[in-house]
Structure 1
Amino acid sequence: MTARILMYATGVCPYCVRAEQLLRRKGVSEIEKIRIDLDPVRRDEMIARTGLRTVPQIFINDEHVGGCDDLYALDHAGKLDPLLA
Structure 2
Amino acid sequence: MSDSGSDPTVEIYTSAWCGFCHRAKALLDAKGVAYREYDVTMGGPAKQTMLSRANGRTTVPQIFIGGVHVGGSDDLAALDESGKLDMLLGR
User: Is TM (by shorter chain) over 0.5?
Assistant: yes
Contact 1:6 1:58 in 2 (8 A): yes
Partner of 1:47: 51
Q: Which of 59, 81, 86 matches 1:76?
A: 81
Residue segments in structure 1 that go unaligned for 5+ positions in a row: none
Q: Which of 67, 73, 77 matches 2:72?
A: 67
Higher relative contact order (CA 8 A, sep 6+): 1
Counterpart amino acid of 2:37? K
Deviation string 1:41-68 (CA, Å, 9 cap, x unpaired) is: 2111111111200000000110110000
Structure showing greater Rg:
2
Q: CA RMSD in A?
A: 1.1
Residue segments in structure 2 that go unaligned for 5+ positions in a row: 2-6
Partner of 2:9: 4
Work out the number of aligned pairs and report it.
84
TM-score (normalised: structure 2): 0.85
Q: Which of 33, 57, 62 matches 1:57?
A: 62
Contact 1:26 1:81 in 2 (8 A): no
Identity of aligned residues (%): 44
TM-score (normalised: structure 1): 0.91
Determine the C-alpha separation between the residues in 2 that align with 1:81 and 1:31.
15
